[in-house]
Structure 1
Amino acid sequence: MMISTLTAQAAALSSEHSTFGQLPDGTAVDKYTLRNSHGVQASIITYGATLQSLLVPDKAGKVEDIVLGFDDVQGYQNNGTVYFGATIGRFGNRLAGGKFTLDGKTWQVPLNDKTNALHGGDKGFDKRLWKAEETKTVDSVGVKLTYVSPDGEMGFPGTLQTEVTYSLNDKNELKIDYRATTDKPTVLNLTNHSYFNLAGAGSGDVLKQVATLHASHYTPVNDKLIPTGELPAVAGTPMDFLKPTAFGKHIKDDHPQLKYAEPKQGGFDFNWVLDTKGDVKKLAAEVSDPQSGRKLQLFTTEPGVQLYTGNFLDGSIHGKGGKVYPHWGAFTLETQHYPDAPNQPTFPSTRLDPGKAYTQTTVFKFLTD
C-alpha cells in the first residue's frame, strides 16, 4: 500500500493516500482520506470522484460514517444506478427524451431512466476513473480530481476539461469546488450524489430527521419526472420546508407530486429553487438528527437543490460493513441547475461556451446540538 501524508496547521489537518482496489482490467483505484482535529474524516476514491465515507462525531463524540457507500470497487460497479457519493456529469438530473438542442443542432444522450437521460447517461462521470493529486492551503487539506471527457462522449458536444476538488478544514466544512472548460459550445450541470443519514449509514430510515430548506418555490414535475416549467410556491404543499420539518411529516401525504416521485408510498425527489440566489455565504439548507445531535448545513453557489429521500432503496443493497440500506434510509442534497434546463427556456441556462469557465462551490458543514 502506498501512503503519503500532507500536513497543515501544525498537523491539525492531514491527508493520506492509499489504494482502494482495482478495476477488472487491473487499473488501480486510489483513495484519499482527509482528516481534521475534530474527528471529521472524508475519504474520496478516484472511481467516479466519489465521496466513499464521511466520519462525523455526534454530540457525545461518537463517530459514525454518515454516507452510504461500499467497501470495494465492485460494490460501486455492481450498483451503478444508485450513484452513492458520486460526482455526477456531464448533466446532473434528467433530460427529457435524452435530447437537447444547441445552436440549431439536436444532441442525443443515451436513455437510462425510461424515456429520460439521467445523470449524464449510462456511463457518466460517476463511472469514469479520475486522476488525483493531494492539495493543501494554510487552513485546509484536499484532493483535486481531474477528468477529460472527449468530444461526443455520451452524446455531449465538446472536449470537457473537468476538475473537482474536495477540501476539509477545522471548521468541519467539507467543500467541493467544481471547474470545467470546453472547446465547443455544450451544456453542463455537475453535482455530488452523496446519500446522508445523520444517525449513521445503515441505521434505519431518516423520517425523524428534520430539514429546513431556504426555498420558497420548487419545480414540479410530470409523471415522467420532467419539470413542467412552472415555479409555484411551496406554501400549502408537502414541499414546504421553510420551517424545520421532519422528512416523515408529509412524505406519505396524498399529493400527486409525491406519487410521481414514489408511486407506492410517496417520497421526495424534487428540485427546490433556493432563495439564496447563488450566495455561498448564505445558508441554503439544514438537516438535523435529534437523536445523535448531528447537524448538516448546506451552502452553495447553485440556484437549486434536489432533495431525494432514498425512495427506491429497498433493503436489497448491502453497503459498508454489510449494513442494509432500507427504504427512505438516506437523503441527498444535490446542488444543481434545474432539471431539464436545456429544454426549459425560462430556467437558468446551463450552456457553457469556449473561453468561459464553469464554476460552482458547495459546502457541507457539520455541527452538533
Structure 2
Amino acid sequence: MEIQEKEISVATQKWTEYTLINDQGMSVSCLNYGGIITSIYTPDKNDNFENVILSYANYEDYLENPNFFGALIGRVAGRIDQATFTLDGKTYSLPKNEGNNHLHGGTAGFHQVIWQTTPFQTNKAVGVRLVHVSPDGDGGYPGNIKMTVTYTLTNDNDFTITYKATTDQNTILTTTNHAYFNLSGSLKRDILNHEVMLHANEFVELDHELIPTGKILPVDDTVFDFRKAHPIIDGVHSVDQQNLVASNGYDHYFIFNQSEQPNAVVTDPESGRQVIVTTDQPGMVMYTSNGLDDSLQLRERSSAKYLGVCLETQASPASLEYEGFPSIRLNKDKTYHKTTTFSFRRS
C-alpha cells in the first residue's frame, strides 16, 4: 500500500492531490481543496482498471465546480427553502445560490475551502485526514464548527468516509460527498442501465424547485421501489410526476430501512463492477445527473445528461420545516459522527 502526493498550482492557490493505492491496485485520489475526490480506479470483470467517477480534465475547473464533482458538502447537504431557517427561536439567513434557495452549503461551503490534511498508513489501510474550522457565522450558520473528515482505503477495496464534528453553539449540520459514479469505466457509457438496489420503503416528495413538500411517500408500485434491483432508465422513461419534476430522472431523498444492510447497491451488468453502500446515515439522495449538459470537459470525454449517479448519504434539511424527517440539528454538547463505506466489488 502507498500514498502518492502531487502539488498543483491553480490560479493563486497551491493544492495537494493525494492518491491512495492498495495492494490490489485500486486507487482513490483526492484534493485538499474541497476534499474533492478526483478519481477512483477499480477493476472490471476482466481486471481492467478504469476511473469510475466523473472528473474534470483541468484542475482549474474545480475552483467553481457548480456541479460539485467529487466534493465534500457542508455545512448542510441539500436544499434549504428560501435560504432561511429558524433554530431556538432565531431566524438565520443564508446565501441564495440556486434561485431563492440555498444549496449544498452555499457559495462558500466545504467544497471551496483548503483543508488541513494529514496522510496516514497502517497495516491494513491508507488514508488522508482532513480538518477544517468553520467560524461562527460562516455562510450564515451559527457556531464554531471543527470538522474532521477521514478518507480510508483498505486492501478489501473498501473506501470509507468518516465525518466528525463538534460545535460550541446549537447549530445544523449534515455532510456528504458528491461523487458521480459511472461503473462502466472511463465514462464509456451513461448510467441508464446501471441497476440500483435500495433498502428504502419511503421517499420524499419534491415540488417544482426540488424542495421537499413535507410529504413522505411509499415506494410501493412506483419506479421509486428499489427494494428489488432495477435499472435507472425506468425512472427516466417514467411518467410519474416525481420523475418529471426531477427533469426525467431521480433527485430524491430515500429514507433507509435501518435494519437492512447494505443500504444500497449499484451494479453495471456490462462491466461487472458493483459499489455497495453501507452507512449509519438515515437516508440518501440519489441524483442521476439529470441537469448535466455537454458543456464540461471531463477527463475522458465531454459531460452529458445521465453520465453519473450520486449516492449522497445524509440527513434531511426538510426537518427544519417538517416533523418526521431525519434531523440535522447538532447541539453544542453533542458530537456529529457519521460513516459511509463504498465497497467496490465485481458482480
Report the AA paired with residue 22 of structure 2.
Answer: N
1:35 and 2:33 are equivalent in the alignment = no
Out of 221, 226, 229, the residue aligned to residue 214 of structure 2 is 229
What residue number does 1:14 align with? 2
Match runs of 1:300-339 below 5 Å: 300-321=279-300, 323-339=301-317
Superposition RMSD on alpha carbons, in Å? 1.3
What residue number does 1:294 align with? 273
What residue number does 1:144 align with? 129
What residue number does 1:4 align with? none
Answer whether contact 2:183 2:271 (CA < 8 A) is retained: yes
What residue number does 1:209 align with? 194
User: Equivalents in 2 of 1:339, 1:297: separation in Å?
Assistant: 25
Residue by residue over 1:89-108, the C-alpha shift from the partner in whole angstroms, topping out at 9 and shown as x without a partner, is 00000101111111100001
Q: Work out the number of aligned pairs and report it.
A: 347
What residue number does 1:70 align with? 56
Answer whether contact 2:317 2:327 (CA < 8 A) is retained: no
| Equivalent position SS for 1:291 | coil
Report the AA paired with residue 38 of structure 1.
Answer: Q
State TM-score, norm by structure 2. Answer: 0.97
User: Equivalents in 2 of 1:147, 1:108: separation in Å?
Assistant: 22
1:268 and 2:250 are equivalent in the alignment = yes
User: Equivalents in 1 of 2:10, 2:144: separation in Å?
Assistant: 25
Residue by residue over 1:278-313, the C-alpha shift from the partner in whole angstroms, topping out at 9 and shown as x without a partner, is x8xx20000111111001100001001010001011
1:61 and 2:43 are equivalent in the alignment = no
Alpha-carbon offset, residue 214 of structure 1: 0.7
User: Equivalents in 2 of 1:354, 1:136: separation in Å?
Assistant: 32
Answer whether contact 1:212 1:243 (CA < 8 A) is retained: yes
1:254 and 2:239 are equivalent in the alignment = yes
Report the AA paired with residue 241 of structure 2.
Answer: P
What residue number does 1:133 align with? 118
Tell me, which stretches of 5 or more residues in structure 1 are unaligned? 1-12
Alpha-carbon offset, residue 24 of structure 1: 2.2
**Paired-residue identity, %:** 36
Answer whether contact 2:71 2:111 (CA < 8 A) is retained: yes
Residue by residue over 1:300-329, the C-alpha shift from the partner in whole angstroms, topping out at 9 and shown as x without a partner, is 0100101000101111111114x1121101
User: Equivalents in 2 of 1:56, 1:205: separation in Å?
Assistant: 17
What residue number does 1:364 align with? 342
| Equivalent position SS for 2:214 | coil
User: Equivalents in 1 of 2:135, 2:329: separation in Å?
Assistant: 17
Alpha-carbon offset, residue 72 of structure 1: 3.6
Alpha-carbon offset, residue 111 of structure 1: 0.8
Report the AA paired with residue 39 of structure 2.
Answer: S
1:194 and 2:179 are equivalent in the alignment = yes
Residue by residue over 1:311-363, the C-alpha shift from the partner in whole angstroms, topping out at 9 and shown as x without a partner, is 01111111114x11211011010000023322223212211122311010000
Structure with a larger share of its residues in strand: 2
State TM-score, norm by structure 1. Answer: 0.91
Answer whether contact 2:57 2:297 (CA < 8 A) is retained: no
Alpha-carbon offset, residue 64 of structure 1: 0.6
Is 69-78 or 150-159 further displaced after alignment? 69-78
User: Equivalents in 1 of 2:231, 2:244: separation in Å?
Assistant: 19
Alpha-carbon offset, residue 201 of structure 1: 4.1
Answer whether contact 1:271 1:339 (CA < 8 A) is retained: no
What residue number does 1:354 align with? 332
